[in-house]
Structure 1
Amino acid sequence: MPTTIAGSDEGTLGPTDGAGAIRGSRRTRVLATIGVNHALHDGYTDLIYVLLPVWQAEFGLGYVALALVRSLYVGALASLQMPATALAHVLGARTVLVLGTLLSAGGYALAGASGGLVGLCVALALSGAGSSTQHPLASAVIARTYGTRARGPLGTYNFAGDLGKAALPALAGLLLTHADWRFVLWLAAGLGAVVAAGVATLLPREPILREEARARPQVAEPGDPTVGRTGFGLLVAVGILDNAARPAFLVYLPFLLQEKGAALTTVGVAFGLAAVGGALGKAIFGRLGDRFGVTRCVILSEAGTAAAILLVIASPLTLALAVLPVLGVMLNGTSSVLYGTVPELAPHGRVEHAFAVFYTWTLGGSALATPLLYGPLGDAVGPRWAAVAAAATAFAVVPIMLVLSPHVATKP
């Protein structure tokens, strides 16, 4: 079967074409460009965690308010996934990705220029809106570019995102000891403008509607069980709990570490350690899912997440820091397995639509759960018990995954 080249204006290339080297080079360029963009946006998302103690001190915020501030970013990111996908049908994936990156960077620039809490909240919502363009479009481009071999590249794409989570929060933690937080956000905004220029230059043009119309009849047969809605719905439920557990713990991590005697620089390093482990987890679990199956890998990562969270809570500072990379591996390992399964369970083979729905629900659940559930819990019982609730949320994935298992039993 000929393979459609995502972002190509040249039609299709057969597996024996002399253009195979060009095809490989184009795939590598697509994956590298989208990976850097993912690193920026995920770094933007986790940068907020390092700034929460700073904003708490400056604006006198409680845990509910802090969770709400973060959720303004994530909520905008989640709620605009579907509109971003629809816009890409008109303008093309590359244009929407560039505009989204510029908007996200502009939001951080505005946050740095804001004089008060209201301006900060508006700016974070704008930045989250820009980041909404990234996940569904980039994932769908990779899925189309690599076809049936997309699980590994999707794991690489997720690995790149966690490199951004490792780099930006750690760098911000270091800079915050020498500079005002507003200046740090301006630097982050400048980096976003550079990445947007790179995406505009390096990512090939991709006419989404035309390519998806060609590919759709070939993705799944009408009788294929992967087109059923039950399996995909269960996958979304797993993703919601997985995405809720992560911020539910990370929102309280700075305060748990400060209780153990950590300085702000140490908090930034801690997020870097967790993110490095997370990047490794995404790379490892994306391939473990191919070898050992989705069910085993998800159960391992979620049970490991719950155990590692409890260990961090109970440990002194040095041991807690040592556990954070392992926690990162488990905390983010699930996502690579889930993302790689979305194309396989996409109803009616509509991969791009499935990614948009998946990200909308999973990120939206995270955005709502943090301020409505875990924020009040933190105010009521403190950071320790709120983090214990995050561990329980991760472990709640296990029974749902057992129900989902028959739908992915024949799939890696």
Structure 2
Amino acid sequence: MQQRTFLTWFAVGHLANDWPIAALWLIVPTAGIAMDLSPTEIGLLFTLINVGGALAYLPAGIVADQVADRGRLLVATFWWVAIGYGVAAAAPGYLTLAAMLALAGMGNAAWHPIATGVLTRRCSEQPAQALGIHAIGGSLAEVLAPVSVGLLLAHLDWRAALAVCVLPTLLVGLCFPRVARAVPRVEKTAVRGPDMAELLATWRRRDGLRLVAMICLYNMALMALLSMIPLYLVAAHALTPAAAGFVFSALLLTGAVAQPFVGRLSDMAGRRPVLVAGNLTAALAGAALVLQPPFAVMLAAMTVAVAALDSIRAAMLAAAVDRAGRREATTLGFAFALMDGVGALGALLAGIAAGLSWPHMFALAAGLSLAAAALGYATDFSRPADAARR
């Protein structure tokens, strides 16, 4: 299979796997309103969902680095996602819903380190660009799923809408086995203690710890914005779920389109300038939102903040692969676990801040982005092998 077709199918697979979880940006606030939940409880629900999914990232990455036929693992994730979210639609209460969504999210989580590990190995000369093309699928899911689910919620309750949202996953899951056969087989290797110790040592060094902290703060800022913006639009501006879905999707569109280009830019110009600029831009836009400007200005500032963070995601992941140098799937599993595990605390903190006021919530997101930019400026993004030669 030609590389362009291969990359396109992986982007489509990413879109289908992320479709139900992207729909949650609208379904969870709608379910929260139906259940009479507070902003803090809604933020906690997002955090529990993402922490549950984060538990699968690292194990999936380790397994992918040991299994020769990784295509079969990718096919399995579609069925886990479709069945998991379909069952979650029947959850009877808050805690049961959180548990079922977290379990379903594990299937979605498993896709990411396996798929990105395959791509970074196949496209080793331009890993960030390949990750950016793959990321388009997830970003388009976040753009299109809220629009579709917003329209569904005008006619269905949140349970029926969630059940309908698994259909794209089922459809692509039926088509993906042919693509899976084109995934290059790799030599089956066992995880050895010295290898894992060396990998951990890489992250325990000063710049490794800075990169870990930057990844966490970056995604905390992004999660804070994404988890609260739909609720903000409905609660503070009285938008309908359908209107909020259209606005939220429009916010994500710019970042979705920019990801492969920003990824390629980071391959050529280096990780630091791209990551610092993206986080700093988001911090400035978040600071503007603290002032609660007129609606049109507010939408523009939210678009800039979300797009700036979303567009640098591929560069962030490529920086993690650069740091480790090998065992791509394990490294990416670790990076995704940081983003959606520790980073998911941003949703909880944003919910608490929104309980005080909406300016507090936007100030939190701006502060987290600013801290990530500062860490990015202080971090040496050289590959360890390159640093050793200097």
User: How many Å apart are 1:242 and its aligned residue?
Assistant: 0.8
Aligned to 2:194: none
TM-score, normalised to structure 2's length? Answer: 0.87
Tell me the C-alpha RMSD between the 2 structures: 2.7
Change (3 A) 1:290 1:237: same
Aligned to 1:63: 39
Between stretches 168-177 and 318-327, larger displacement belongs to: 318-327
Aligned to 2:276: 299
Percentage of matched positions with identical amino acids: 23
Change (3 A) 1:160 1:207: closer
Distance (whole Å) between structure 2 residues aligned to residue 257 and residue 311 of structure 1:
17
Change (3 A) 1:76 1:35: same
1:204 paired to 2:175: no
Aligned to 2:318: 340
User: How many Å apart are 1:211 and its aligned residue?
Assistant: 6.8
1:386 paired to 2:364: no
Change (3 A) 1:54 1:406: closer
Distance (whole Å) between structure 2 residues aligned to residue 151 and residue 91 of structure 1:
24
Q: Deviations over 1:272-323 (max 9, x none)?
A: 0122112023123112213332111111111111122233452332333344
Aligned to 1:330: 308
Aligned to 1:193: 170
Other structure's SS at 1:133 match: helix
Change (3 A) 1:317 1:361: same
Aligned to 1:281: 258
Q: Check whether the contact 1:309–1:327 (CA below 8 A) recurs between aligned residues.
A: yes
More contact order relative to length (CA 8 Å, sep ≥ 6): 2
Distance (whole Å) between structure 2 residues aligned to residue 229 and residue 204 of structure 1:
39
Change (3 A) 1:208 1:394: farther
Distance (whole Å) between structure 2 residues aligned to residue 231 and residue 199 of structure 1:
39
Other structure's SS at 1:80 match: helix
Aligned to 1:96: 73
Other structure's SS at 1:115 match: coil
Q: Deviations over 1:331-385 (max 9, x none)?
A: 21221211222332115x22222111111122211223432x3333333x12331
User: How many Å apart are 1:393 and its aligned residue?
Assistant: 0.2
Q: Check whether the contact 1:343–1:354 (CA below 8 A) recurs between aligned residues.
A: yes
Distance (whole Å) between structure 1 residues aligned to residue 204 and residue 34 of structure 2:
50
Change (3 A) 1:168 1:406: closer
Q: Check whether the contact 2:19–2:165 (CA below 8 A) recurs between aligned residues.
A: no
User: How many Å apart are 1:70 and its aligned residue?
Assistant: 1.4
Change (3 A) 1:382 1:278: same
Q: Check whether the contact 2:284–2:366 (CA below 8 A) recurs between aligned residues.
A: yes
1:80 to 33, 56, 65: 56
- Structure 1 residue runs without a partner (length 5+): 1-24, 214-221
Change (3 A) 1:207 1:231: farther
Aligned to 1:16: none
Distance (whole Å) between structure 2 residues aligned to residue 342 and residue 29 of structure 1:
26
Aligned to 2:351: 375
Distance (whole Å) between structure 1 residues aligned to residue 272 and residue 89 of structure 2:
44
TM-score, normalised to structure 1's length? Answer: 0.83
Distance (whole Å) between structure 2 residues aligned to residue 334 and residue 177 of structure 1:
34
1:145 to 122, 126, 134: 122
Other structure's SS at 2:37 match: coil
Other structure's SS at 2:138 match: helix
Aligned to 2:193: none
Distance (whole Å) between structure 2 residues aligned to residue 230 and residue 198 of structure 1:
45
2:15 to 36, 39, 55: 39
Aligned to 2:372: 397
Change (3 A) 1:73 1:352: same
1:125 to 90, 102, 105: 102
Aligned to 1:27: 3
Aligned to 1:9: none
User: How many Å apart are 1:59 and its aligned residue?
Assistant: 0.9
Change (3 A) 1:85 1:92: farther
Partner letter of residue 176 of structure 2?
V
Partner letter of residue 312 of structure 2?
T
Distance (whole Å) between structure 1 residues aligned to residue 136 and residue 44 of structure 2:
27
Q: Check whether the contact 2:67–2:188 (CA below 8 A) recurs between aligned residues.
A: no
Change (3 A) 1:81 1:293: same
1:169 paired to 2:146: yes
Count, aligned residues: 374
Aligned to 2:224: 248
